[in-house]
Amino acid sequence: MAELGANARAAAHVLAVTPAVQKRRAIKAAADALEAARETIVAANEKDMAQARAANLNAAMLDRLALDTARIDGMIQGLREVAALDDPVGRILDERTRPNGLRIQRVSVPVGVIGIIYESRPNVTADAGALCVMSGNAAILRCGSESFHSSHAIASCLRSGLKAAELSEDCIQIIPTTDRAAVGILLAMDGDVDIIVPRGGRSLIERVKEGSHIPVLAHLDGICHVYVHGSADPDTARDVTFNAKMRRTGVCGATETLLIDRQAATMLPGILAPLFEAGCEVRGDAEAMALDSRVVAASEVDWDTEYLDAIISVRVVDGLDQAIAHVNSHGSHHTDAILTEDAAAAERFLDEVDSAIVVLNASTQYADGGEFGMGAEIGISNGKLHARGPVGVEQLTTYKYKVFGTGQVRP
């Protein structure tokens, strides 16, 4: 592991000053290598799938693990899209000349070495590796034990792409063991790893956050809200709420709680109708139950629960202040929406809700780097420092100050 770290640091120093054209060449060559290695990858994936079935993994996990032609196409396409992104390195973020003649530039640079810890989805290998290379960072990948063969087959393709572009293969390394102790070692490698990105379920992310002295970019929960203000358009309220909850219930941007203003109470049955129709369970406070007899009773725990399922909690609130207070105290500072036709109410909600993403009159399920036009994302952060919201190539950079003098000494 120590060698892995030292190799990554050395590779990162070179990659940090590698021109964009060479980084793009490496990523495109990796896409070509994936194309050429389809059969090898499918064979490796079959090994993983056989072991997973033997270990009685559940259907959801098997689905995440499986690689078919469409998913391999998706990875290849993803790599080509990352290679087409603007180079996030070397942007001049600020420049000024001081009265003493010093010229001071703030320039974006890669962070250095990124450790990515993921679970069953083998395609994270390709996404994360390519995003790191494009942002000039070396990657140390730690795949889940269940996707070991698939992830290693994909990592070989990425490394052959690096080689084809005359870059060190150590820009992307994958930990060559399934030993759980390796994760602990990785989390303690402060000197050689600058950021840890965990990709997976809550227990993984909790373990990483607790076990690491290295900064972690991740979100633990996505307890997202839709607040229907008194002046909301009823059709928008119905359609957006439905999409925010039901488009995909297992994603972090899925809404878990509907806050309905007392002024909008009459809209509630209309909003809930398509949810019931789709089989969604609705848990509400006493007032919501009184408004619609199909609503079952919510308990206090519901306001703090990420269901990741076809369940929604509903609370009737007494105006904007109460809605904002509820979101700030029960939410997870991820993504929260207001539905309203009142510009002043919208402005207050967007300003005062303390979340990474605040939305007016649209679905919370837009919480995604691709939808934001940032290209691929390595994850979403609900921490406040460094990166907030989608983590794309730009968020994998930091900056340095370049000071250009002509012999100045400080008085």
Residues contributing to the site for a copy of itself (CB under 8 A): 13, 16-17, 96, 98, 102, 104, 111-112, 194-195, 215, 233, 235-236, 239-240, 242-244, 247, 328, 350-352, 354-363, 365-366, 371-373, 383-386, 388-389, 398-410
**Minimum separation from the CB atom of position 75 to a copy of itself (A):** 22
- C-beta of 279 vs 411, nearer to a copy of itself: 411
In this structure, are residues 268 and 282 in contact, taking their beta carbons and an 8 Å threshold? no
- C-beta of 9 vs 159, nearer to a copy of itself: 9
**Minimum separation from the CB atom of position 38 to a copy of itself (A):** 29
d(CA 215, CA 112): 13
Please report, as a single letter, which amino acid is at residue 189: M
**Minimum separation from the CB atom of position 353 to a copy of itself (A):** 9
| CA atoms lying within 13 Å on the CB side of residue 58 | 1
- How many CB atoms sit inside 10 A of residue 50's CB? 11
In this structure, are residues 133 and 172 in contact, taking their beta carbons and an 8 Å threshold? yes
**Minimum separation from the CB atom of position 164 to a copy of itself (A):** 24
- C-beta of 188 vs 350, nearer to a copy of itself: 350
d(CA 393, CA 404): 28
- C-beta of 46 vs 233, nearer to a copy of itself: 233
**Minimum separation from the CB atom of position 290 to a copy of itself (A):** 28
- C-beta of 145 vs 361, nearer to a copy of itself: 361
- C-beta of 21 vs 59, nearer to a copy of itself: 21
**Minimum separation from the CB atom of position 333 to a copy of itself (A):** 9
First to last CA, the chain: 48
Q: State the pairing for strand pair 379-381/389-391.
A: antiparallel
Cα angle 13, 15, 16 (rounded to 5 degrees) comes to 65
